[in-house]
Structure 1
Amino acid sequence: MTRLPDGRYVDDAPFDPAANIQELERKDLDAPGWLLVWRKFRKHKLGLVSGIFLLICYLLLPVAGFIAPYTPNERNSDFLYAPPQSVNLFHEGEFVGPFVYPTVAEADLVTFQWKFVTDKTRVLPLEFFCEASEYNLAGLIPTRTHLFCAPEGATVFLWGSDRLGRDVFSRILYGGQLSLTVGLIGISVSFLLGIGFGSIAGYFGGKIDWTINRLIEILRSLPELPLWLALSAAVPSNWGPVSVFFIISIILGILDWPGLARAVRAKFLSLREEEYVRAAEMMGASSGRVIRKHLLPNFTSHLIASATLSIPAMILGETALSFLGLGLRAPAVSWGVMLNDAQNLASIEIYPWTAIPMLPIIIIVLAFNFLGDGLRDSLDPYAD
Structure 2
Amino acid sequence: MTDRPANDQVPLASVATGEVTADETVSPGSRGRSPSQILWLKLRRNRTAMFGLYTLAVLYASAILAGFIAPYRYDDSQTSAPFHPPMITDIHVFDEEGALSRPFVYAIVAEDPQLKTYRYDTSKKYPIRFFVRGDSYHILWLIRSNVHLFGLDDPGRIFLFGSDIQGRDVFSRILYGAQVSLSVGIVGIIISTAIGMLVGGIAGYFGGAIDFVLMRWVEVLLAFPSLYFILIMRQAFGRGLSSTEVYLIIVIILAFIGWATGARVIRGMVLSIKEREYVLAARALGYSDLRIIVRHILPNTFSFVIVTATLSVPFYILGEVALSFLGAGIQEPEASWGNMLTAAQNNRYLTDFPWVLTPGFFIFVAVMAWNFLGDGLRDAADPRTLN
Q: Any conservation in 2 of the 1:84–1:160 contact (CA below 8 Å)?
A: yes
2:112 is matched by which residue type in structure 1?
A: A
Contact 2:343/2:349, CA 8 A, preserved across alignment: no
Query: 2:317 matched to 1:315?
Result: yes
Q: Write the distance in 2 (CA, Å) between the matches of 1:153 and 1:276.
A: 71
Q: What is residue 21 of structure 1 aligned with on the other side?
A: 8
Q: State the one-letter code of the partner of 2:183.
A: T
When residues 265 and 78 of structure 1 are mapped into structure 2, their CA distance, relative to the original with a 3 A threshold, is same
Cα distance, 1:189 vs structure 2: 1.6
Matched, 1:359 2:334: no
Q: What is the CA distance between 1:22 and its match in structure 2?
A: 5.7
- Equivalent residue runs for 1:1-384 within 5 Å: 21=8, 25-85=27-87, 86-92=90-96, 93-107=98-112, 112-120=114-122, 122-384=124-386
Conserved 8 A contact 1:82-1:161: yes
Deviations 1:255-286 (A, max 9, x none): 10110000101111111122222122112122
User: Taking every aligned residue pair, what percent have the same amino acid on both sides?
Assistant: 41
Shift of 1:58: 1.9
Q: What is the number of residues matched between the two proteins?
A: 366
Counterpart code for 1:106: E
Corresponding residue number in structure 1 for 2:21: none
- Contact 2:75/2:334 (CA < 8 Å) preserved in 1? no
Helix, strand or coil at the partner of 2:51: helix
Q: 1:325 to 1:98 in 2, by over 3 A?
A: same
In the superposition, relative to structure 1, how do residues 228 and 19 fare at CA in structure 2: closer, same or farther (>3 Å)?
A: closer
CA distance, structure 1, for counterparts of residue 6 and residue 184 of structure 2: 53
RMSD value over aligned CA atoms?
2.1
CA contact (8 A) 1:241 1:331 kept: no
In the aligned structure 2, how far is the partner of 1:59 from the partner of 1:361? 16
Partner in structure 2 of residue 9 of structure 1: none
For the 8 Å contact 2:110–2:119, the answer to whether it is kept is: yes
Q: Which residue identity is paired with 2:289?
A: S
AA in 1 matched with 2:68: F
Checking the alignment, whether the CA contact within 8 Å between 2:137 and 2:146 is kept in structure 1 is yes
- Contiguous gaps of at least 5 residues in structure 2: 11-25
Does the CA contact (< 8 Å) of 1:235 and 1:244 recur in 2?
no
**Alpha-carbon deviation of 1:196?**
0.7
State the TM-score, normalized to the length of structure 1: 0.90
Higher relative contact order structure (alpha carbons within 8 Å, sequence separation ≥ 6): 2
Q: In structure 1, what is the Cα distance between the partners aligned to 2:355 and 2:60?
A: 24
Q: Based on CA coordinates, which of the two structures has the bigger radius of gyration?
A: 1
Distance (Å, rounded) in 1 between the aligned partners of 2:9 and 2:308: 35
**How far has the Cα of 1:101 moved from its partner?**
1.8
2:8 partner letter: I
**In 1, Cα distance between the equivalents of 2:106 and 2:382?**
55
What's the CA shift for 1:57?
2.2
Structure 2: distance between partners of 1:170 and 1:38: 35
Alpha-carbon distance in 2 for matches of 1:331, 1:230: 24
Change (3 A) 1:123 1:378: same
Cα deviation code 1:295-321 (max 9, x no counterpart): 122211110011111111000000000
Equivalent pair of 1:185/1:250 in contact (CA under 8 Å): no
> Separation in 1 of the partners of 2:310 and 2:6?
40
Structure 1: 5+ residue runs without aligned partners? 1-16
With normalisation by structure 2, the TM-score equals 0.89
Q: Deviations over 1:80-127 (max 9, x none)?
A: 11111132223353221321122211227xxx4132011345543101
Contact 1:301 1:380 in 2 (8 A): no
Note closer, same or farther for the CA distance 1:137–1:39 as it changes in structure 2 (3 Å cut): closer
Supply the distance in 2 between the matched residues of 1:27 and 1:142 (Cα, whole angstroms): 48
What is the alpha-carbon distance in structure 1 between the residues aligned to residue 139 and residue 299 of structure 2?
38
Structure 1 counterpart of 2:99, one-letter code = E
Structure 1 residue 26: Cα displacement: 4.6
Q: Deviations over 1:51-82 (max 9, x none)?
A: 12212322332321110011000010110111
Q: CA distance change for structure 1 residues 294 and 72 in 2, over 3 Å: closer, same or farther?
A: same
Query: Counterpart of 2:23?
Result: none
